[in-house]
Chains A and B, each alone.
Chain A
Amino acid sequence: MKFAGYILSIVSFLALPVFALAEDGNGAKRLEELEKRIKILEEKGAAPKAEPAPSPAVPALPSSATGISRVFNPAFSVNGLFLGTYRSEKNKDQTADVKTGLNVQELELQATAYIDTYLRGDIVLSLPTAESIEIEEAIVDFVPMRNLSARAGKFLAAFGKHNQLHTHQFPFIDAPLVSSELFGESLNEKGVGLNWVAPSPWYSEVNFQLLEGENAAALNSRFNDDFGYLLHNKNLWDLNEDTTAELGGSYLYGKNNAETHNATHAVGGNLTVKWKPVRRAIYNTLIWQTEYLAAFKENGIDPVSDVKLYDDRGGVYTSLQYQFARRWWIQGRYDYFGLHAANDANDKQRWSGLLAFVPSEFSAVRLQYNHLDYANSGTLGLKNEHQVLLQLNFTMGSHPAHKY
């Protein structure tokens, strides 16, 4: 509708001089009339003028004589995650993700700014275990028109709910089993994407992303001209002023490296119900989140029987997070990994409980217990285990806006 309006106004604007020429005689009269009306309006002072603004409390930093001004610096913030871990299996397996000890789980440096009139940039550098540095995200966003935004760079792909979170935003200290098993750490790819908000009465966005397809676990084609194609839809309904329900679906198609041009199809579905009474918004919250993810991969051809092989894996988690006082959260999660493949050695389930003390928006201390239970414990030396994790999570710098 608006678009039609724009076209109409452009057409009428272009047509104006033509009409003016055609009505040569009347044109001068009309101009006179309009001028008169403007004068009258001006005398009456029809348009109220804005109040003169008092001098601002904090003046903008002046540009220095050297030209080194801080006014346009990006907003910086640093997130830190310190982690202490106990594992009942000790550290027999040095390659295990969870080992008894003290660690810097991650340091993250984020810079955000509008680049110019058109573009906005977000750079997130991550120092996992504070030993190396990697580009977690480098995003340039552009809003070409209302309802549509475009992005380019390296980013956490819009696959499911959990995959789009940075480590310090994880609802639990560790990622769900299914996320880490299917994508390694996360599906984080170079690519370009479009995000469109549908003109529906509820919030519905559709993401299309073209990914380089480098994820070692799910994609990583033998040929670098094979891309990943991702489609994601997220819907959110306000059930009442305190409660929302979010339903999302994701689909990813790409090629894996099992053999030449073997395809990977990954799917995901997530449901989140969130309750936060607006009258007591800082004191109580309840979040129930469930997510299902699976990857169906062609896995070469059996050399003996000449039959196509498949590697299908999937899993699910469901979690409850309850904020029972202003600074306290109690949470529980159940994880299962072992869908779509019969009796795999790596099939497992995990029970987690978490207690968090959140003294301010900028820091949190979280204590988590995991019981990891292998479906085939004993085989391959896999043993059920208990894990205890204690994390200090903090943010320094510009005030973080809180994602919903």
Chain B
Amino acid sequence: MPNHIKFSFSSCCRNLFLALAFLFLSISSAFAGLNVATTTEDIASLVKEVGGDHVSVTSIAKGYQDAHYVEAKPSYMLKINRADLLIYIGMELEIGYLPLLIEGGRNPNIRLGQPGLLDLSSSIAPIEVPVGEVDRSMGDVHPYGNPHYPLDPANGPLMAGLIAGRLSLLDPDHAPEYKTNLENFRKRVDAKLKEWSARMERFKGTRIVTYHLLWSYFMKRFGLEYAGVVENKAGIPPSPKHLLELADTMKRQKIKLILTNNYTDPSFSNLLAEKTGATVLVLPGYVDGVPEVRDYIGLFDYLIDKIERALSH
């Protein structure tokens, strides 16, 4: 073999080796604590509250994204592959992508029954569990109940409790810290909950319309009631007939507020508002849904503020 080829070949090999070594090092030494992946930003925020500096957390869905419809991108599989713990909402919220991500993540610790996989829905009492038979003619129905339970602030500490238990199991060295953080978080939510409930007290029994059944837990907590839902079957755009009937109901009952979220097209809600004179309030459904909402408690500060103002008018 001529000398110049030999030289270039060996230097090429060396460069390749260095590049690979760098690659492995950069991945394995990125963070010494627990790597946690979550499906939503709400869970990520709770993990930060409980885990503090001992965890690094990344959410698959963005806060301004519909957590029902997330693409099963292979890059998310990498997140699961490299995580110690995957935490999800459950109740079939993530059914369209999570099975593929877990399968593609091929992480033996993140499987059903393994400590690396945590379903938070076991921490809460579900509502709107369909009674009797269900089938797909009813739209995108969730047979285990409404999965939007993080929107009841009282569920936050329950979810955080489950998270703290699991973090302590995986990282017993920092268990006392997780417990302290959990207690602090509980106290802060309890205090805030009193404040929020006091501010919403005067709106108890107020009937409103929402686009999707996203706000059920929130409304139940603060005593708001449904006059109707724009999407009469979950996940299916409303029919003109339903919209007309809903407009009639709203006029008769003098409904002033339509709540919708910032990832669905507001045109149906706007149409209803035009017909009835009600106000459309576009709100984030998750932490990080708008730049002002940075954490779980901040989400409710923002929601209460906006709803209080809209209902006061």
| Chain A residues close to B by CB (< 8 Å) | 1-2, 44-51, 53-54, 56-58, 120, 143, 145-149, 197, 199-203, 205, 234, 236, 238, 241, 244, 276, 278-283, 326-327, 359-362, 399-404
Contacts and interface: CB of A to CB of B under 8 A. Distances in A.
B15 interface: no
Interface stretch (B69-77, B213-221, B299-307): B69-77
Interface of B: 23-24, 26-28, 62, 64-66, 69-75, 77-78, 81, 92, 95-100, 103, 106-109, 122-126, 129, 136, 140, 143-145, 158, 161-162, 164-166, 168-169, 172, 175-176, 178-179, 182, 235-237, 262-265
Nearest to A196: B106
A399 B75 contact: no
B144 A51 contact: no
Contacts of B74: 203, 205, 234, 236, 404
A9 B308 CA distance: 57
A281 B47 CA distance: 26
B51 to A, nearest CB: 12
Given A205-B74, A282-B264, A404-B72, 12 more contacts: A47-B165, A48-B178, A51-B161, A53-B122, A58-B144, A143-B108, A197-B77, A201-B23, A361-B96, A399-B96, A400-B96, A402-B100
Nearest to A398: B95
B172 A282 contact: no
Contact of A283 (B62, B129, B265): B265
Given A53-B122, A148-B106, A281-B66, A402 B92 contact: no
A274 to B, nearest CB: 8
B69 A281 contact: yes
A54 B124 contact: yes
Given A1-B28, A51-B162, A46 B176 contact: yes
B136 A281 contact: no
A46 B144 CA distance: 34
Contacts of B172: 47
Contacts of A279: 64-65, 262-263
Contacts of B92: 399
Nearest to A75: B99
10 contacts: A47-B179, A278-B62, A278-B65, A279-B262, A279-B263, A281-B65, A281-B70, A281-B71, A360-B235, A401-B98
Contact of B165 (A49, A58, A282, A327): A49
Nearest to A395: B136
Contacts of B106: 143, 146-149, 197
Nearest to A238: B75
A57 B129 contact: yes
